[in-house]
């Protein structure tokens, strides 16, 4: 009985650790995406191109889920709509 409870506790801890790790990675990617958007917006502002992306929930989620391709997608859409 005690062995089964101990094994169940170990399994739950392993699953929680994996879940927390995924959330931390997602948050880090979102934060890095925000920093990249800010840097690219400042560079684009100096160059004079009219495609600037605002920082909002959609852009943060796009960069957190897709990474660099998501960032490129956002700027491509901004250029297409500008």
pLDDT tens track for 22-72: 899 999 999 999 999 999 999 888 887 778 899 999 999 999 999 899 999
Please answer whether residues 74 and 64 qualify as being in contact, where contact means their C-beta atoms are separated by less than 8 angstroms: no
pLDDT at 7: 82
Q: Is residue 11 part of a domain?
A: no
Q: Does the residue 14 lie in any domain?
A: no
Q: Is residue 75 part of a domain?
A: yes
Containing structural domain, residue 57: 24-81
- Report if residue 37 sits inside a domain: yes
Residue 15's pLDDT is: 83
How many independent structural domains does the chain possess? 1
29 inside domain: yes
- Any domain includes 7: no
Asked whether residue 16 is assigned to any structural domain, the reply reads no
Q: What is the pTM of this model?
A: 0.75
Neighbours of 59 (CB within 10 A): 19
Q: Are 37 and 71 in contact (CB under 8 A)?
A: yes
Task: Find where tokens 């960032």 sit.
Answer: 71
Domain for residue 48, yes or no?
yes
């Amino acid at each position: 009985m005690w062995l089964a409870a101990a094994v169940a506790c170990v399994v739950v801890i392993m699953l929680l650790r994996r879940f927390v790790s995924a959330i931390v990675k997602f948050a880090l990617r979102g934060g890095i995406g925000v920093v990249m958007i800010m840097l690219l917006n400042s560079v684009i502002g100096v160059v004079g191109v009219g495609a600037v992306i605002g920082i909002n929930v959609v852009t943060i989620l796009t960069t957190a889920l897709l990474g660099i391709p998501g960032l490129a997608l956002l700027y491509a859409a901004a250029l297409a709509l500008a």
